[in-house]
Structure 1
Amino acid sequence: MLAAMPVTPTSPPERDKPAAGGRTVRAGGDACPGALRLHTADDGALARVRLPAGLLTDRQAVALALVAEELGDGNLDITSRGNVQLRGLADGCGGELADRLRGAGLLPSDRYDRVRNVAASPLCGLDGAAEPSRAGATDVQAWARALDALLCTPASDAPAPYDGLDLSGLSGRFLFGLDDGRGDIVALGPDVTLIASGEEQAVLCFAATGPGLRIAARDAPRAAALAAREFLAALDHSGTRAWRVRDLAPEHRPGVEALADRLTAAGIASDPLPRPRLPHGPPVGPGLVTGRDGRCALSVTAPLGRLTAAQWRLVTTAAAQDGTGELRVTPWRGIVVPGLPAGTARSRLTALADAGLVTSTTSPWHRAGACAGRPGCAKSLADVRADAAACLTGLPPAGLPVYWSGCERRCGHPGGTWVDVLATGDGYRIAVRDGATETGPETEVSTAHTTAGGLADAVAAARTSAD
C-alpha cells in the first residue's frame, strides 16, 4: 500500500512557447489539478475528481454532493473530460477532502490520481445498437474499469510482463479514449484511442489518427496501457517535454511498429492497419434515449457545465429510485442515467427541466459553455458566466457550439467548429473558429466585436453563420 501523498496547491507553470505546425513546446510540468493536488483560485481551492468513463454509483454521487456543500461552494462543475470539479474549497480542507473521496471509492490511488483520464462512449449499450456489426455491441465501460485498474497498479505489483509498467509520468492532460464504434469519442482526439469493431475486435491508434493496429477486444485495456508506456518511451527518446501525443513533433511521436513489438512481448497479437477506418459521430444530446428492452436513459446537460448540489441530487435520485443506480458523466458536460421505465423517464425529464437543467437539443443552452470567469479566476476580464446567462435567455434554438472565455487561455473550450466569445476588457470579440488539426492551429472564419449590451444578437448571428 502506498503512503498517502500530501495535498498541495499547484503553482503557476512556466510559460509555454508556440512551435511550428501549431504545436506547443512545454516549458515545465503541467499544473493540472487533481483530488490531492489542488489549484488555488480567487474563489478558493479547486479540486478535480477523476471519473474514468464518467462512471458513478448513486452512493458516490451523493458523496460528491455532500462534499460540494460542506467543503466547497455548493456547485459541481463537469469538465470536457467527463470529470467533476469542486470549487470554493477552504484552506486546509485537503486532508478531509481526500479522506472522504477515498471512503466513497473515488480516490483509489494517491500516486496515480491525475493519470486516470478515460473517456468512453456514454450511450454504449443503451440506445438499441446491440448487433455485433453496429456501434454499442462492445461494453467499453468494462474496458474502462479494467484500464483504470491497470493505471492504478504500482509497477512493483504488476504481474509479468507488465511489471515496470509505471504510468505515473503521464501528464494530467493525457487522455485515453474508448469508442464503441459510433465515433463520439474519436472526435475528441484522445492520445490513445481504442475503437470497438464488432464484439471480437478493436482498433488501437495514437491521437485518433492512422496508422493503427487491430487487436482482440479482450486485450484492449492492456493494449491501451502499453500504448501509453510507448508514448512515455518516445517522450524520453525525444529529449523534449510534452503533455500529449500531438505536442510532439511528428518525427518524435510514438509509432505503431514499436507498439506492435511491445504488445507482442506482452503476449498480445496485432495486425497493422495503415489506413484504419476511424468513425466520427456526434456527441450524446439531451433528451430521452430509448433502448431495445423498452427502458430509457435520461440525458441532461449542465447549464454552462455547472450544477447546484440540489440539481445534482435530482439526477442522482432518478438513478437510485428508477434507474440502475448508475450515472455516466459525459465529456460534453452532461449526465446519462440508464435503465428507467419509459413513462417514469418522461416525468423525470420534465422535473429536471423545471429544475433548470438542459433537456432538449432545441434549447439555446444546448452546446453552450463558459470558463469560470470573474470572480473565481484572477485572469478573467469579465464575469463571463453572468454575461453568457443573460445572453442565452431568449435566444433562438442552438446552432454552433458557443463558448465564453474570460481571457486568451480559453480554458475548457470545445473542439471542431465553434463560436469563440472572448472577453477583451471593453466588450467581447466574437469569432467563428475552425478546430485545430494535426497540421495547423485553429483559424478564424469570421470575427466581430461588441459590448455586453449587443452580445445576444452577435452570438445568435455567429451560431447560425456556419451551422
Structure 2
Amino acid sequence: MLAAMPPPAIFPARTGDASPRARGDACPGTLRLHRADDGALARVRIPGGVLSAAQADVLGKLAERLGDGELHLTSRGNVQLRGLGPDCGGELASGMAESGLLPSERHERVRNIVASPLSGLDGRGERDIRPWLSAVDELLCASDTAAGLSGRFLFALDDGRGDVDALGADVTLLARSDGAATLRVGSAESAVRIPGARAPQAALIAAEAFLDAAAGSGAWRVTDLPGDDEPLLDEIVRRLRQAGISSGPTAVPARPEKSAPPDPGIVTGPHNTVALSAGVPLGRIGAHQWQALTGTARHHGNGELRLTPWRGLVVPGLERGRAAAALDRLGAAGLIIGPHSPWTGVGACIGRPGCARSLADVRAEAAATVGPPGTLPVYWSGCERRCGHPRGEWVDVVATPDGYRVRTVRGEERGSPLTVPAGPPALAAAVTAARGTVG
C-alpha cells in the first residue's frame, strides 16, 4: 500500500579508494537516493526504455516540481532526476507507484533491462522482443531470489541485429532466425540454444544461478566472479533441464565491437506507420523538449516512447504523411533529428557542479567546443572513473589537473594520449582531429 511505502533513503557520495564491492552496492534507485553536489539523485529503472505518454508526463512533472527541471537519460535507457530536495521522498515514491513506474519496491533497482529499441518497427531483427521484455520484467518482480541482484546487473534482449548485445550485459537473449534464442552469459566463450517461448524464464534462471555462484564473493556482475564464466554456464544448463527447458550448445555469435544506435530521423518498416528517432544533446532533456516528445507520442503516435541506451528516444506509430512535420517540430525543440547535427555522437558525464569528483564542467566544455560530426563518438569525463562512457571504439576526453587528455579507445586498447589545455580553440581542434571527418 502507498501509505506504508517508506520515503527514499538518501546516501552520501562514496569517497576514498576502497573497493566498491567491499562497501556493498550503493547504486541509486527511486527509493534509495544518492547525495550529489547538486542535491539528491534518483535513478528510475525503465525496462527496455518503454514509457507510456502518461508515465512520461509524470516523470516530467516530478522533475519540474522536485528537481532541477530536466530529465537525464542514462546509458541503460533509464532516467535520472537530479537536484532533488531532502523532503521529496513521499511525493516521489507515490508518483512513481501510482504511474506504474514502481511495480515492486523490493525489485526497483534490479529492473535493469536493455532491449533493441527498433524491434518490431523497421522490419529488421529476427523477432519482436517486446513479449520477452514484458515477461522478463514480470518474472523478475515475482522472484524473491532476484531481489538480491545488484543495481548494476544487466539483462539485454537483442532481436538479432546485435545492437544491445554489444553492451556487454550479464545475461543476454539473442533472437534467432529459427525462432529459438541464444542465451549468452557474461563473456563466456560458450552459449546455449533454448526455445524462444521459454527465453524469459531462462534469463531468470541464469540470474538466480549467478546469485548462488556469487554468494560470499561480493561479486555484483558475472565478470566479477573468480575464474571464467564456463562453470556458471554449466550450472545454468543443469537448472534449465531441471525446469524442463531444452537446451543445447551453440556457437557464440561474435559480439559486435560497437553498438549501433538508431540513426536519427524517420524509421520506416513493413507497417503502415513509421517511427521517429531523435537524439538528446548530452542526454539532458528540458521541459519544453520533453513536452514536445510526449505530445508527439500522444497526438501523432501510438502513445508510447522508447528510451534508448544511447541517450536517444524513439516515438512509434506515426502516419507516414505526418512524420516529416512531426520530426521538424522535434528538431525545433533542440533535439537531434539528423546525422549532420554537431551533437551527433557527443556524450558527457554530469561533471561539475553536480559531481564532487569531477575536475571540470565537462558539459560546458563540450558545448563550447562542439564541431562537425565525426566518424567516432566522443565522450567527455570529469575524472578517471569515466561514468557512463560508451563501449567499442570512441574518443575519450578526460579532465586532468592540467587540462584534458584526449585519446581513442577501442575495447581494451588505448591510443596514445594527447594532453591539451582547457579552452575551446586547442581542445576543439584536438577532439575534431581524433574523431575523424564524416564522408
- TM-score w.r.t. the length of structure 2 is 0.94
- Please say if residues 428 and 452 of structure 1, whose CA atoms lie closer than 8 Å, have aligned partners that are also in contact: no
Letter in 2 for 1:459: V
Helix, strand or coil for the counterpart of 2:48? helix
Structure-2 separation of matches of 1:359 and 1:209: 38
Of the three residues 388, 391, 395, the one matched with 1:412 is 388
Structure-1 separation of matches of 2:383 and 2:293: 32
Helix, strand or coil for the counterpart of 1:263? helix
Structure-2 separation of matches of 1:255 and 1:445: 37
- Within a 5 Å distance, the mapping from 1:265-304 to structure 2 comes to 265-273=242-250, 275-278=251-254, 280=256, 282-304=260-282
Matched, 1:213 2:192: yes
Of the three residues 421, 428, 433, the one matched with 1:456 is 428
| Partner residue, 2:9 | 8
Matched, 1:430 2:398: no
- Please say if residues 28 and 241 of structure 1, whose CA atoms lie closer than 8 Å, have aligned partners that are also in contact: no
- Within a 5 Å distance, the mapping from 1:229-244 to structure 2 comes to 229-236=208-215, 239-244=216-221
* Distance apart, 1:13 and its partner CA: 4.5
Of the three residues 407, 414, 420, the one matched with 1:443 is 414
| Partner residue, 2:362 | 384
Aligned-pair identity in percent equals 53
Residues 253, 209 of structure 1: CA spacing in aligned structure 2 closer, same or farther, 3 A cutoff?
A: closer
- Please say if residues 42 and 378 of structure 1, whose CA atoms lie closer than 8 Å, have aligned partners that are also in contact: yes
- Please say if residues 206 and 212 of structure 1, whose CA atoms lie closer than 8 Å, have aligned partners that are also in contact: yes
Greater mean alpha carbon deviation, residues 207-216 or residues 409-418: 207-216
Letter in 2 for 1:463: R
Of the three residues 87, 94, 99, the one matched with 2:89 is 94
Structure-1 separation of matches of 2:231 and 2:317: 40
Residues 188, 271 of structure 1: CA spacing in aligned structure 2 closer, same or farther, 3 A cutoff?
A: same
Greater mean alpha carbon deviation, residues 275-284 or residues 303-312: 275-284
| Partner residue, 1:305 | 283
Residues 381, 145 of structure 1: CA spacing in aligned structure 2 closer, same or farther, 3 A cutoff?
A: same
- TM-score w.r.t. the length of structure 1 is 0.89
Of the three residues 134, 141, 157, the one matched with 2:130 is 141
Of the three residues 23, 47, 50, the one matched with 1:52 is 47
Residues 199, 309 of structure 1: CA spacing in aligned structure 2 closer, same or farther, 3 A cutoff?
A: farther
| Partner residue, 2:113 | 118
| Partner residue, 1:21 | none
Residues 4, 284 of structure 1: CA spacing in aligned structure 2 closer, same or farther, 3 A cutoff?
A: same
Of the three residues 252, 256, 260, the one matched with 2:237 is 260
Structure-2 separation of matches of 1:466 and 1:309: 32
Of the three residues 203, 225, 250, the one matched with 1:248 is 225
* Distance apart, 1:53 and its partner CA: 0.5
Helix, strand or coil for the counterpart of 1:233? helix
Structure-2 separation of matches of 1:174 and 1:320: 33
Greater mean alpha carbon deviation, residues 356-365 or residues 79-88: 356-365
Gaps of 5+ in 2: none
Q: How many residues align?
A: 435
- Please say if residues 14 and 28 of structure 1, whose CA atoms lie closer than 8 Å, have aligned partners that are also in contact: no
Residues 365, 385 of structure 1: CA spacing in aligned structure 2 closer, same or farther, 3 A cutoff?
A: same
Helix, strand or coil for the counterpart of 2:146? coil
Greater mean alpha carbon deviation, residues 348-357 or residues 329-338: 348-357
Structure-1 separation of matches of 2:315 and 2:169: 24
* Distance apart, 1:200 and its partner CA: 2.2
Structure-2 separation of matches of 1:229 and 1:16: 30
Of the three residues 302, 311, 317, the one matched with 1:339 is 317
Structure-2 separation of matches of 1:466 and 1:396: 8
Of the three residues 9, 21, 40, the one matched with 2:35 is 40
Helix, strand or coil for the counterpart of 1:113? coil
Structure-1 separation of matches of 2:416 and 2:185: 29
Of the three residues 302, 321, 324, the one matched with 2:299 is 321
Of the three residues 131, 136, 139, the one matched with 1:150 is 139
| Partner residue, 1:162 | none
Structure-2 separation of matches of 1:43 and 1:15: 20
**Residues 113-145 of structure 1, C-alpha deviations (whole Å, 9 max, x = no match):** 00000000000011123xxxxx1x422121111
Structure-2 separation of matches of 1:343 and 1:458: 43
Residues 14, 169 of structure 1: CA spacing in aligned structure 2 closer, same or farther, 3 A cutoff?
A: farther
Structure-2 separation of matches of 1:396 and 1:278: 32
User: Superposition RMSD on alpha carbons, in Å?
Assistant: 2.1
Structure-2 separation of matches of 1:121 and 1:421: 28
Matched, 1:401 2:377: yes
Gaps of 5+ in 1: 18-23, 130-134, 156-165, 437-441
* Distance apart, 1:283 and its partner CA: 2.1
- Please say if residues 281 and 343 of structure 2, whose CA atoms lie closer than 8 Å, have aligned partners that are also in contact: yes
Matched, 1:106 2:101: yes
- Please say if residues 155 and 170 of structure 2, whose CA atoms lie closer than 8 Å, have aligned partners that are also in contact: yes
Residues 252, 331 of structure 1: CA spacing in aligned structure 2 closer, same or farther, 3 A cutoff?
A: closer
Residues 208, 194 of structure 1: CA spacing in aligned structure 2 closer, same or farther, 3 A cutoff?
A: farther
Helix, strand or coil for the counterpart of 1:167? helix
Letter in 2 for 1:457: A
Letter in 1 for 2:382: G
- Please say if residues 374 and 437 of structure 2, whose CA atoms lie closer than 8 Å, have aligned partners that are also in contact: no
**Residues 419-463 of structure 1, C-alpha deviations (whole Å, 9 max, x = no match):** 111111332111112223xxxxx5234433232232111110111
Residues 231, 154 of structure 1: CA spacing in aligned structure 2 closer, same or farther, 3 A cutoff?
A: closer
Structure-2 separation of matches of 1:293 and 1:462: 40
Letter in 2 for 1:422: V
- Within a 5 Å distance, the mapping from 1:66-81 to structure 2 comes to 66-81=61-76
Residues 27, 329 of structure 1: CA spacing in aligned structure 2 closer, same or farther, 3 A cutoff?
A: same
| Partner residue, 1:63 | 58
Structure-2 separation of matches of 1:254 and 1:462: 41
Matched, 1:226 2:221: no
- Please say if residues 403 and 413 of structure 1, whose CA atoms lie closer than 8 Å, have aligned partners that are also in contact: yes
Helix, strand or coil for the counterpart of 2:277? strand
Structure-1 separation of matches of 2:414 and 2:42: 32
- Please say if residues 245 and 253 of structure 1, whose CA atoms lie closer than 8 Å, have aligned partners that are also in contact: no
